[in-house]
Structure 1
Amino acid sequence: MAEMELAGVNLPYSLDAEQSVLGAILLDGNANMPKASAKLHPEHFYVKVHTDIYTVMMQMFAASDNIDVVTVLENCMKNNVFESQEEGRNYLVKLMETVPSISSVDRYIEIVEDKYTRRLLISIAGDILENANEGQTDTAALLELAEKRIYDIRNENQVKGLTRLNAVIVGILNELSELCANPDKQGIQGLKSGFPSLDKYIHGLNKSDLLIVAARPGMGKTSFAMNMATNVAKYHPEKSICVFNLEMSKEQLVKRMLSSEGRISSELMSTGRFDPAQWRNLADAAFVLSNMNIYIDDSSAITVNEMKAKLRRVDNLGLIVIDYLQLISSGRRDLNRVNEISEMTRNLKIMAKELNVPIIVLSQLARSAEKKDDKRPMLSDLRDSGSIEQDADIVLFLYRDSYYNKEAEDQRACKCIVAKNRHGETNDVNMIWDGQYTRFTDVEYVHAEQ
């Protein structure tokens, strides 16, 4: 970073803070070097000699060497940091004398880190200005590059070091104490899905989880996911829910949502032959949905990176829904379909972890599932790649016997099969499917209402 220069721009740095960090390490290497190494790299220092000294200290720390003024001077001379022994000794002693208070080393580290981030931002702004003036870079590509570089800075500043076990235990105990004090949340660590029987098994929609919802076409995958999205919006109005629908237009999707919320048949939504009561239901549903923080993107052939670029701009992101996996573009032509899907599921899991939100991804089942005598779906029926099962934290299958058997006793009965669950056991959850309203309802909830 010391080599970075911009014409006419004074790059920010703090000479006193840089000297104080290095001086504090020289005074007490055992206590202060671990603190510095957890947050600072050599490029965080602007002054060239400070970069070189800290590089030597990092090498010594990695080798478990004792760090003090004598040993650092010896290693600095080996690495040609100073021209003479006397010059090196005088400068290292000056660093130790510069430290105002060794107990404030954490603050000095923060200042050095802050100045480095500011220099990075200035550098990025310079690159963007240069590329924009040249006019050779596509505007969309320029925006994506700018977003990515700024996001990378944010991630770099969130360095995660080793955490002692007791700190993790304290956090867990505090979380469990909060759950015990709130009966409504007991057993639900994540966002409420709106399906209480399902939440008993998956414990809600948890941060960084990748949930796969799979079924044959026409089984109700999209309706189930959108029911869940609207439920989350109702229970957690402070959260933003983002929906990427690669198959339907946003108008088609919102019509379904209005049908489900207003209990208006999909046929009426197509014909518009409403009576006054139905118009009131539609107006009420429109009012409820309009006040939800749900955002819809109906771009086709979108990539995971393009989704991520859009999601970074969303405030208080709570849930992501993607409909559906097989329509996502990998942006690569050098991979076969299996490897392409594998890369996408891996990137989706990484995105869930980076953004720290649950992601619900819909997926198709292989056609071979239709040829089995028992049509009940299994993990091996997931289409295109075994990585879907591997990368997912939770896999849910939707299954209706009436889909295959028109003579079935209960045409509305549906099972949500929890086929994989990293948070607990697997089981079947009984639900009711109202096809005319494109709506799923928890059987337990219906019985409670009755």
Structure 2
Amino acid sequence: MNLSNISNIEAELSVIGAILVKNDAICEVINFLKPEDFYDLKNGIIYKNLKELYESNIPIDIITLAERLKDTLKEIGGITYLSKIINSTVTSKGIKEHGEIVKEKASCREFLKILNSSLDKLSKGEFSSEHLISYTQNSLINAKSLESRDTGRVEKIMESFMDTLQTRYENGGDIQGIKSGYKLIDRMLGGLSKEDLIILAARPSMGKTAMAINLLLNTVLKQNAKTAFFNLEMGIKQIVDRVVSIHTAIPMNSIKNASLTEEQWYDVTKSASILAQSSIKMYDKILTLASIKAECRRLKIKEGLDIVVIDYLQLIDSEERQENRNQDISKITRSLKLMAKELDITVIILSQLSRAPECRSDHRPLLSDLRESGSIEQDADIVLFLYRDECATRS
């Protein structure tokens, strides 16, 4: 293996030298660079001690550093090694850029470690292929999120807030999230926001799937959002029939039986061409929580991903069975909420309701009607109920 791909000793020495030349230079790297990011253990030990001196308000020079190192001074090469670093450093300029190089190489080593671990588990037969993919993707994304995690400084947080506020002002108060195409919902929610878990719940035949497909078509075709639609209830042919029916406003039976007028044939052909070129992905065979998450991560990394719709919650197999179905559902919703945050996407889950609304005079749904609710209302950022008088009366 070419070590230059996973380490840069010159950059490490430049960072240390810059701090020894100008103490305050450490401010440029202290928030993101850690001792363990250094490939050369000697350099990692030196940086750790430089950091401790700075945080203790002790002036940094070769004498205070040597005193701080004490027993480990000989281990890192003694005063000779420290002098060599100082003598080879001309300026403290560029420390941030060199620190970023050190950080990047550390990330490469971490990714290599994860891949080697996956290969080891594969050779030992510890995981099925599906579990191995999920394990590897989880590990890689977690490592990347830790690398890029904000330091929590209020200055940066407020700077980001003001940038967002300025953008909102320049947009004239327009909706900031992705527009669902349903004006009332968009006004109430401000559009579909990243990191949100949205539950769309109703009794059967209220139109959950139709609304979800409409929403996907609005976001994909009008705003070019990258979306994924997991339908655990229907086969892919049924899904396509419904999508084309909704897109063209042609009755479902006409499409199923191909009893179309010449104009309808034209509309269906045009719809098929538009959908084929769109950024919507449709799945009918991915039924487990692990496989849904694995595919979403793959899409996010490879093609980008904005919105995920899952139809529907109670059909998701959690694989690792809990004591009861309520606990299964709780685990699923919590995991999908974490995925929304991790991948910076909107996750919309369709959900069945219990029969409780049918026992009430007005038939209107309540949060307590969420079937096998577990902690749905706790994990969800938004819960939307579909209700139509004519359907409720008919049922």
| Aligned equivalent of 2:392 | 404
Corresponding residue to 2:138 among 136, 148, 152: 148
CA distance in 2, matches of 1:92, 1:161: 30
Secondary structure, aligned partner of 1:103: coil
Question: Once the 2 structures are TM-superposed, how far is the Cα of residue 260 of structure 1 from its aligned partner?
Answer: 1.2
1:190 aligns with 2:180: no
- Give the aligned partner of residue 159 of structure 2: 167
Deviation at 1:160, TM superposition (A): 1.5
Question: Against the structure 1 CA distance between its residues 121 and 371, is the aligned structure 2 distance closer, same or farther, given a 3 Å change threshold?
Answer: same
Q: Distance in 2 between matches of 1:197 and 1:334?
A: 39
Which of 85, 91, 94 does residue 84 from structure 2 map onto? Answer: 94
Query: What is the rounded CA distance, in whole Å, between the counterparts of 1:112 and 1:27 in structure 2?
Result: 19
Contact 1:246 1:299 in 2 (8 A): yes
Query: 1:124: how far off?
Result: 4.5
1:18-37 to structure 2, matched below 5 A, reads 18-29=12-23, 31-37=24-30
Separation in 2, partners of 1:283, 1:55: 65
Structure 1: segments with no counterpart, 5+ residues? 1-7, 181-185, 408-450
Q: Which amino acid counterpart does residue 75 of structure 1 have in structure 2?
A: R
Is the counterpart of residue 280 in structure 1 residue 273 in structure 2?
Answer: no
Distance 1:197 1:47, change over 3 A: same
With the length of structure 2 as denominator, give the TM-score of the two structures: 0.87
The Cα shift of 1:381 comes to 1.8
The TM-score, its normalising length taken from structure 1, stands at 0.78
After superposition, the C-alpha distances for 1:73-95 in whole angstroms (9 at most, x for unaligned) are 33322xx322389x644433433
Task: Name the one with the larger helix percent.
Answer: 2
**1:60–1:398 distance in 2 versus 1, CA, 3 Å:** farther
Aligned residues: 388
Q: Deviations over 1:13-46 (max 9, x none)?
A: 22221122123333444x3434323222222111
Distance 1:152 1:391 in 2: 21
- 2-structure distance, mates of 1:57, 1:344: 45
Q: Distance in 1 between matches of 2:381 and 2:126?
A: 43
Deviation at 1:226, TM superposition (A): 0.8
The secondary structure found in structure 2 opposite 1:229 is helix
Q: How does 1:30-45 map to 2 (within 5 A)?
A: 31-45=24-38
Counterpart position of 2:381: 393
The 5 A counterparts of 1:363-382 are: 363-382=351-370
> 335-344 vs 41-50, which deviates more?
335-344
Partner of 1:317, secondary structure, is coil
Residues 128, 250 of structure 1: alpha-carbon distance in 2 compared, 3 angstrom cutoff: same
Tell me the amino acid that sits aligned with residue 263 of structure 2: A
Equivalent residue runs for 1:65-104 within 5 Å: 65-66=57-58, 68-69=60-61, 70-77=63-70, 80-83=71-74, 88-104=78-94
Query: CA, structure 1 residues 129+211, in 2 after alignment: closer, same or farther (shift >3 Å)?
Result: closer
Displacement of 1:132 in angstroms is 5.9
Give the distance between the partners of 2:22 and 2:316, measured in 1 at CA.
54
Change (3 A) 1:335 1:96: farther
| CA 131–242 in structure 1, closer or farther in 2 if over 3 Å, else same | same
User: 2: distance between equivalents of 1:124 and 1:406?
Assistant: 56
SS, match of residue 50 in structure 1: helix
CA displacement at 1:397 relative to structure 2: 0.5
Deviation at 1:335, TM superposition (A): 4.0
For structure 2, the residue ranges without an aligned partner over 5 or more in a row are none
User: Is 1:384 aligned to residue 372 of structure 2?
Assistant: yes
Picking from 241, 246, 260, the partner of 1:255 is: 241
Asked whether 1:325 is paired with 2:316, we answer no
Please give the alpha-carbon distance, in whole angstroms, between the structure 2 residues aligned to 1:146 and 1:88: 41
User: Partner amino acid for 1:380?
Assistant: S
Look up the SS of the partner of 2:228 in the other structure. Answer: strand
Contact persistence 1:247–1:300 (CA under 8 A): no
Separation in 2 of the partners of 1:32 and 1:393? 43
Q: Is the 8 A contact 2:137 2:294 kept in 1?
A: yes
Give the RMSD, CA atoms, in angstroms. Answer: 2.8
1:230 aligns with 2:224: no
C-alpha offsets along residues 239-277 of structure 1, whole Å, 9 cap, x if unaligned?
A: 321011111112111111111122221222333333333
Contact 1:192 1:205 in 2 (8 A): yes
Which residue of 271, 274, 294 corresponds with 2:257?
271
Could you tell me which of 318, 335, 345 is aligned with 1:347?
335
What is residue 40 of structure 2 aligned with on the other side? 47
Distance 1:260 1:169, change over 3 A: closer
Of 339-348 and 228-237, deviating more is 339-348
Deviates more, 1:114-123 or 1:125-134: 125-134
Q: 1:157 aligns with which of 147, 151, 156?
A: 147
Q: Which amino acid aligns with 1:244?
A: F
Structure having the larger proportion of residues in strand: 1
C-alpha distance in structure 2 between counterparts of 1:136 and 1:373, whole Å? 55
The 8 Å contact of residues 194 and 228 in structure 1, kept in 2 or not, is answered as: yes
Match of 2:188 in 1: 201
The one-letter amino acid of 2:304's match is N
In the alignment, residue 325 of structure 1 is paired with which amino acid? L
Question: Does residue 15 in structure 1 map to residue 6 in structure 2?
Answer: no
Cα distance change on mapping 1:270 and 1:13 into 2, 3 Å: closer
Q: 3-state DSSP class of the match of 1:256?
A: helix
Q: What is the rounded CA distance, in whole Å, between the counterparts of 1:27 and 1:337 in structure 2? A: 63
Specify whether residues 367 and 59 from structure 1 end up closer, same or farther in structure 2 by C-alpha distance, changes over 3 A only: farther
